Structure 1
Amino acid sequence: MSSKSDQLLIVVSILQGRQFPKSQRHNLIVHARFDGEQLATDPVDHKEQPQFCTELAWELDRRTLHQHRLQRTPIKLQCYAVDTTTSVNECVGYIILDLRSVQEIKQAPKWYPLLSSKYTKLKPAILLAIVLENDTKQTELSIERFKAKKAPPRQGSPVSSNLLPEKLEAVLKEDEGYHQIGHQDYCTDLFVLSVTVAFATKLEQLIPSTMKLVGEGSEFFFYYTLLGNDITSEPFQNLISPSFEPERASVRIRSSDPVLLAFLSLQPSLQVHLCCGNHSLGSTEVSLAGLAKSSVDLEKQVATVEGAFILQPPNRAKQSLPPVPMDLQPTVGVSVTLRREALTTPVGANAEGGDGPLIPLKTGTVAHVLPPSPSAEKWPRTPSPGIKSPIKSPTSLAVSPPNPLTESEADSLQVEAALQAQPLPTGSVLSPCQVEDEPEGGLSSVSVSAPKIAIPSSAHHYCFSMDLRSVRNLNLGFPVSCTLRYAYQFFGSAAPIMTNPPVEVKRNMEVFLPQSYCAFDFAALPHQVQDTFLRVPLVVEVWHKNTSSRDILLGTASIQLSHLLTAEKSRFLGPMGQQHWRQTFSERIPVIKAQGFSAAGTGHATPSEEVAELCYVTTLENLGLVKVQDIVMSESSQNGYPVAQKTVPALRPAPPSSAGGVPTEPRETLEYRAALELEMWKEVQEDLFDDQLKKKELGHMQALAEEWKKRDRERESLVRKKEVEYTILEEQLQKILADLEKREKHLGHAEMEMQRLQREMRAEHELNMCKLQESGRRLREDCAHQVDLERSRVRQLEEERGRQQQQMLDAENKYKLLEKEYQQFREQQSIRPEIRLQSEINLLSLEKVELERTLESTTKSKLHYKQQWGRALKELARFKQREQESAMTRLKKQQQELETMRLRYLAAEEKEAVKSEKHELEDIRNELNRLKQQEDKRPWGSNSAGPAVSLNESADDHLSRLLEERDTLLRTGVYTHEDRIISELNRQIQEAMSQRVDH
């Protein structure tokens, strides 16, 4: 056995979360897995800060902890989002805890972020605390195992070993109509034990949200077991205000006061269940030991235990839920009474009248005797398969007990499991209600009318557990409301075990099954287990729960339990320090389509087609040899075993015969008479001594009763004081709850207002974004349009430049043509006389000068145009850099200016060309006329006025050229009289005119 400090608990406290998204249709649940054992928290609301407030613990010793630390075994926490409508689990992240950092000193909780989180933007985290604690529960159990047994009473006491045998049991005497407790020669008083179920309140609190009452049966009733007899109340349908007649069930008991009180003190509490169909919705315990502890004289008064008892759900013991207010707790009114029956009632007759062994009596009516074991239709022997804790739950109990059984209680179930695993000759399975020694908290009482058999000393206690994990890879054309079902008679239960509630399975989806863990305790020889596991597979049926029609068998999966025998064995220690072995095997197996099943969309499938894939985990624990060797058989198996009869020797010698006998010679002697008188005197003295002891005992009992009443009054005053304090605390709590409700309402309104503002801000943001996108699009279109306009203008300017170049080419060609004409004219004049030729030469020189002047003005005009073109290009480049609003106006103005300039230039050019041609012709004509006049006036030989004439002609030509240039520049419209070039030309013209006047 381990010491106190060797037993440890790894406690993981899951407190709260943060930065989770809010979801109305989902709940959050955290699964914690360590060393192959998985625990889970209760579902909480999927909100920003979920409150888990749950502690999960694993038991181990220091040696195992050291091995786990060396192997770096992690504690993995997986957070799931559970859909409340489809029950589909979706992993949203996980956390890995290092076992090496766990200490026995309590540390502050830390925030652990979820790894591989589904919510990547929010980065959720969970507040956790992990600590090592000493397992005081295991230590107390170990100490209780080694407590010394009570010393047996002495031979001289009233309660001797004959009156209190080592094993008190209630034996049904069907012929006599009562139960015998104790030795039939000394226990001759008749008692009536009655149980009354009077009323019930707040039963609707026991209905789970996942339970469908329509499919399970809408009738409710109360169930309990009284001395091996199953009692059910009249069914009722309204849970909110249940209306049923109070029913009393009574059994007649033949015993004595001390034996009966000792028997009741050893009996487990009476468990009263609220049932719906085959399910227990809640249960309560009524202590029968209270009848034995009460200081009531059964000869004068009635011992009573009564009150309103709180009904607890089946899984309340494993849940760390907040306490429910007293006014909302479901209760049932139960009264248990024990009274002495009138001595005038003949043995064998019923207390209420009637014939035959009519045991239970209800409200004055006679009911038939129920069989010792409950009927399978009324109360199935399979447990609720939803036990998820690593603590084993024996399947042979009538229902799952409200409190999970510990390892110490499992030893008392070994006898029952051993009988279930025994191959009976009749092939039947023994009922658990026929086990002789029931653990505390059990439901069935014992019927000892059956004989006993002996268990071989080599039989072992086994615990087999099955966990159906998940179903995936559905190969059907429609979603399935899946539930699994299996049965294995070798474990002692012929009734099927089903997963509940059904889960919806679709294609390409893996669904984890709820409430799919079940454990079986049984006893058998090792070779029997091996042979059975090798020969008989465990067949799991997959059913489709159809609400509109009957259920459909989709397929079956065959689990070969022989794989479990070849799995690796792991060693673990029991609560007493004994060594046990565990084998675990997990596998995914196909679900083969059932024969005769056809569904739309599946095609022509063969019977061996796989319709799904099942994941399961099996565990077999060998808990060592069975200690108890005697168990009770059921009636169906009595023919294969002999009945073990017990004979009790006479306690006292038979009294001597006093009438009519002729004494023999030895008995007539005085010695014999003296010896007989001495024996009779001894008996009288023993009777007197017994009377004195009874009187002393009565006095002591009365003193104890007075002291008990005094202390009871003190306790009542203390209880009243505590009730007042609790009432004040309850009022304060109600005020706090009211304040919290107000705050919650305010928070709800604020949250709704915030959501409304968020929606408005989101709508405004979207509107602004649309406006910005529209304005951007318009700006892009305007820019594209402006670029197109500029490109068109550039093309027009390029075309204009080409036309100007063409005009310049035409002017050059014209110049060349005139030059050719001049050459021709010159050739024609070459045939004239020399003087005439000289005059022609002068004339032609003048013409040449004029033409050069015209060419020079044309060149200047060309240069001026080029300058204007460069200025226009620079102005265009500057316009492109300015704002878009002013660019349009300036471009239009520049276009108008260019257009005006072009028109002016064209008009001026044409006018200048015409004028120049006219002027040239006029000058030539005037010059020719003047020359003719001079020639006519002068003789041919006089040349005195030649230089003066040539000087005047040159001055006139220069003056006319200056005037022509000034006029040309002014006609372009670019220059005004204030410009520098015009002022310079005016000055030169004035100088030329002054020089001409001087000459």
Structure 2
Amino acid sequence: MGSRCDQLLIVVSILEGRYFPKRPKHKLVVEAKFDGEHLATDPVEHTDQPEFATELAWELDRKALHQHRLQRTPIKIQCFALDSLTSTKETVGYIVLDLRAAQEKKQPPKWYLLLSNKYSKFKSELQLSVTLETDTKASVDGFKAKEAPPRDITVPLSGLDPKNLVAVLNKEEGYHQIGPAEYCRDYFVLSVTIAFATQLEQLIPTTMKLPEQQPEFFFYYSLLGNDVTNEPFSDLINPNFEPERASVRIRSSIEVLRAYFLTHAKLQIHLCCGDQSLGSTEILLTGLVKKGNVDIHQQAVAIEGAFILIPPNRARQKLPPVPLDMAPTVGVSVSLQKDNVSQPIQVITQAEPENMKKALSPICDQERSLEQSFHNALPQTGHSPAIKEDATESEVESIQYDRNPEQQKKALNTQVPASQPQHVTGSSTSEPTTGQKIAVPAASHHFCFSLDLRSIHNLDAGFPVNCILRYSYPFFGSAAPIMTNPPVEVRKNMEVFLPQSYCAFDFATLPHQLQDTFFRLPLLVELWHKDKMAKDLLLGVARLQLSNVLTMEKTRFLGTNGEQCWRQIFSETIPVTAAQGPSNKIADLSYTVTVEDYGLVKMHEVLVSDSSRCLGADEPPLVPPSQPGNAPEVQPEPRETLEYKAALELEMWKEMQEDLFENQLKKKELAHMRALAEEWRKRDREREALVKKKVAEYTVLEEQLQKTLTDLEKREKQLISAETELQRLKKELQAEHERNLQELQDTIRRVKEESAHQVELEKSRIKQLEENRIHLQQQIYEAENKYKSLEKEFQQYKEQQSSKPEIRLQSEINILTLEKGDLERKLESATKSKLHYKQQWARALKELARLKQREQENAMARLKKQQQELEHMRLRYLAAEEKELGKVQRQELEDIRNELNRLKQQEDKKHFPDSQEVFGSQLQNAHTQQVNESLDEYLARLIEERDTLLRTGVYNHEDHIVSELDRQISEVLVKRSSSKEQNIKN
């Protein structure tokens, strides 16, 4: 039953997710990693709320669980996105779960935010829970399956003594043989890599004298009897050397190697300076070939970790234990793997043992990537192999603070030496009565160390930090961490003063121990970011070199009892370097350190009890000295003396005065307490009103922030859509560009092909023409030869016929015929020239007639335009003349009226009919004159409007409005001429 309860299951429930983007043709997978074992969920659709509903479990016992909790082994949850088409695996983010939070009772699931989220615009989360369950299937009714036998054929090792196994070098074939030849059937490669080192300055005591020149340090170890050293370095604080790997080839078997490593189990690595060893560590090699390990034929077996270097004379130096995170360590990797290569490799030759000279390693690789994996490993408390696991943000605290109270007490007692008492702070005056004695050395001094972390400034973390500073220095008597509280927000280019950052330690120690410890151990101040939604994040570490305060000038002051004391004060601003990644400065820390020396401790043994409070109560009362010369033989009772009575009265009067004084003080105290209570209530009411006001303001600000967040989400969606559209347009433009480029390339290729074809055609044609030219030259040459022969024959024939008269006449006739033909040709050419000149002359006449006609048309148009203008001027003149004439006629009509009136008076009855007729005709003439005057005014107005339009330069005679005015003017002129003719007839 006990074995059944010891088997446990670590169950991680992965339920669902939220705030994921929708990605079609993609799936989500969650993988969990613990203790080197990977488990994964089934792929689900990549939606905004994926549902996994999967449980992942690991088997282990309670002892292993306790070990993992001490080493803070994390459970790393990684989320991946799988492309369904290309099977591409992309990392979305990860979550680190703390194994210490797992309990056997079921816990409600929690939402965890993905760290290093690929979807930076989405705050993706996973709902997870971690529980411990009893593994009921581990053993049923006490039955347990036997281990499967090893797959390789085992050879009995009877007759072999493990103590007699040695490594024999075979220089010809290049390997070390371990064991008899009949057992050596396999080849292996044993490699040792020294990757890094930290805190090496703690191995140098203040009393040690280093060489006057720049000292060189190196690591030394022996590998199968061969001395190996790495490249020397000179800086212990920041050791900078390249990781080097030394490998040897071994011919043996698993069983023989297991027996060999049992007798040669330890690999010692020394830090050396010259021929002196400053510290060493031991690595157990039995873990490489132990039973139940991984199959070495399939993969390599490795022991990796950061191992603590121990000085060779720690007991003689009486050094206090150092915390794990401050201990000097060296990162080492020892691996053993099966060698399938048949060809021999170079091995390490025996180095000279004198002064541990350096032997070159056969395979010296620069394994920079290995250093990162070493830094992620926790420092080892012993020499057991470290568990390979990725480092996380919260895996930086020391292991010793996770023990139970009894373990913490034991660790504290082992860390404080016997000569050094537990420190007691000045504020703790009510210590419990234990009755225990604390031994203090006779030469110990009472010291008070105070540290004031003042301010943080020049922050360069990329985001606002809720700052908490934390440090621990066990030399002061306590390994418990000291933190500033509450957290303060620090932003870029801002200096913030830290609250509750002053702390003082009272302790007793020897001065040389204080000096040695301050020079060896710096005080590490950690800068933490406290996040409400996630785990605390370690941002950086500042190294306070406490030895600086011991170099300052001492100032004298008097203690509480008048004794002479000394004080040293040191202030400085130091950089805070990043804890992860490159060691860059992320902030500056200002601090002040004070060391006060109160001198020798007077009491060598302190008994903590209640009786110490009434020290001297049992002493006898002092008896006044008597005068030896005047002493009476019988002395009176002391209480009956006058002096005693006077002293008694004086004491009684003093007690009465003290009572009166105490009553007055109580009254004053009561009055002050009432006033303080009233003031407290008043200020409490003010604070409540201020809090209500601030709550209202914060509510309004929260509403505004919510509205702003809504607007930002809308804007973000718009930006996402715009970005999608931009990507689409970009893809289209890219496709169009590629298409145009392809077309251009095709066009260039066709043009090149056509040009090449044309060139070929031209070359062939030139070749053909050259052949034709050669052929024609040959024909010409033949024709010339033939012509010369014919000419000779003709010359001979001509000479023969020159003597005949017919021939002479015929020759003259031929000459005349030739002259006639020549004259006919000249006549024909002259006739053709005459005809050509006739045609040219006719064409010129036609062109001249056309130009003349065009000029006449232009002249007629100008003449017509001038005539129209003259007509308009004439009409204006006539209108003006008619206007003057109308005035004259109106005057005449007035005269006629006057005359008619006069005639009326003279011949009223005698000539009535004649006068009436004359009067009627005159009236008709007057009406006609009025009509003509109105037409003249209308005509003048039309002409004036037309001239005004023409003078602007915008209108011409072809415009519609000007032509309409010309038409109206013509109509008015016609009416006016007809009215004039009618008037003449009358």
What TM-score results when the alignment is normalised by the length of structure 1? 0.27
Higher relative contact order (CA 8 A, sep 6+): 1
TM-score (norm 2): 0.27
